Amino acid sequence: MYAILRRRDVSALTGKARSTLYADISRGIFPPPVKLGAKSVGWVASECYAINAARVAGKSDAEIKQLVADLVARRKDAMKEAA
């Protein structure tokens, strides 16, 4: 089971404003949201926590970019298994 966070919760968790959050997604250093409906998105909580843990551990942006790629790949694999 996956817990989903809405954008305000993600901003509170990371301390990042909406614009910074989306800029980080564009740079590949934060996971993209999942579509919840026609006009709503959310973020997988465990992915957000993993990024925070990497930041606290002092990982570089390059290392975090690789972590994001791994998290997104795992998400896609989980979707295939569920289908």
pLDDT tens per residue, range 43-71: 999 999 999 999 999 999 999 999 999 99
**76 three-state secondary structure:** helix
Distance CA 83, CA 61 (A): 33
The pLDDT value given to residue 78: 86
Distance CA 17, CA 11 (A): 6
**82 three-state secondary structure:** helix
Dump strand ranges (E) for the chain: 4-5, 34-37, 40-44
DSSP symbol at 39 = T
**1 three-state secondary structure:** coil
**pTM exceeding the 0.85 threshold for the entire prediction:** yes
21 has a pLDDT exceeding 70: yes
3 has a pLDDT exceeding 80: yes
